[in-house]
Structures are given as C-alpha cells and as structure tokens.
Amino acid sequence: MNLADALAAGIRTLDLDITTAAQQRMLDYLALIEKWNKAYNLTAVRELQKMLTHHLLDSLAVLPHLRGPRILDVGTGAGLPGIPLALARPDWHFTLLDSNHKKSAFLRQAVIELQLGNTEVACARVEDWNDPHPFDTVVSRAFSEIAEFIALAGRLCAKDGVVIAMKGVYPHEELAQLPQTFRLCGVVPLQVPGLGAERHVALLQPAEAA
C-alpha cells in the first residue's frame, strides 16, 4: 500500500472527514520533514511509512477532542500535532510554540510551503511567552509531565477551554500530581491505526470552569 492509500485508510479508521487535498498536503509535510531531517534532526523516525503512523495518524487521532477556534501546540518540535491538525481544520487558528530555533525555522518554512494561512509560529520558552487572547485548546504531544505542562502552559488556556496532554500508557503517576488549579475531565484511550502501542489523552480543565 502506498503512502496516500495508507493515509486515507488510517483516516477512515479514525472516522475523520479530511479532504483529499488536505491529505496530499499532509504527505507533502512528511516529505518536508524527510528533507530537513538530515540537517535539523527533527525526528528520530526516518522511514516515511513509520512517520505516517507515528506522526501523522498519531496527531490526527486527537482531533475529536479539540475545541476551537484557537489552538496552541506547546513544544511542537517538528509541528506535531499542530501541523496535521491545522491541515485537517483550516477553519481554526493554530499557534506552534517551540524554543528550538532550528525547529522553528523548519516550522516557518513548512507554513509557507504548505500555505498554512491558519498557522503561526512562535519561537520562545513557554514560561516566557504570552498571548493577549486565551486559547480554547492547549495541547502537547511530548512536552513534559502533566503537572509541569499545566504549571507552565495552563495560564494560556481559556477558563472554559481544555488542556490536552497526549501520552502513551495510562499516566497514573502523573495524574496523582495534578495541581488544584485544574481538574481531570477524563483519560481517553486512542486507537492509532498501525501504531501498535498504547496511546491516551488526558483532558483537563481549569478548576474554576467546574
């Protein structure tokens, strides 16, 4: 099965509605990662087929849990999950935040080449960064433990927004350390096509939203 067919099949399995044009741009994004990876070390995953499952489909699996229209991706790295999600939801606005200058340079180039008019890049440490408008969703795929994520980025979430921490196995120990400023809404298992590993998302809200 070629990459395009594998992506289409994965999206069907996830029960998502993503246009063929957006799917092609997702494949263009993978090609950009492969091209820049040699010099910028964006990801340890080198094979395109593996990038498809470990990066694209893994990122898209969280889409049903997002709230729009303003989404912040903290510690986005190579643009994950932000860029696949931005391609899937052109009607929402995404901010990709990362402190690594090389990765931010790649992100800016990707935004240009993929014509992502709904996406901006911010190169800064999250604890030093601010935005005048709160975000409906603050998401992270591999940034830190949940308590640290909330301590650093929770202030950027709208009062009725959601913080989403993407994890592997069920994060029992991390959830035991939750600060009182946030409450756990649930932990949802994700079935990522072709991944063959446990994935969960922890969904949290500011305590005052209760």
The CATH number given to whatever domain includes residue 74 is 3.40.50.150
Q: Which domain holds residue 30?
A: 3-209
Other beta carbons less than 10 A from residue 80's beta carbon: 25
Amino acid, single-letter form, for residue 91: D
- What radius of gyration do the chain's Cα atoms show? 16
Other beta carbons less than 10 A from residue 45's beta carbon: 17
Give the C-alpha separation, 38 to 59, whole Å: 22
Looking at the 3D structure of the chain, how many domains does it have?
Answer: 1
Amino acid, single-letter form, for residue 165: A
Contact 88, 22 (CB under 8 A): yes
Give the C-alpha separation, 128 to 115, whole Å: 28
Amino acid, single-letter form, for residue 174: E
Q: What residues have CB less than 8 Å from 133, skipping those under 6 apart?
A: 70
Taking only the tens of pLDDT, the chain with its 210 residues reads 899 999 999 999 999 999 999 999 999 999 999 999 988 888 888 898 999 999 999 999 999 999 999 999 999 999 999 999 999 999 999 999 999 999 999 999 999 999 999 999 999 999 999 999 999 999 999 789 999 999 999 999 999 999 999 999 999 999 999 999 999 999 999 999 999 999 999 999 999 865
Contact 121, 86 (CB under 8 A): no
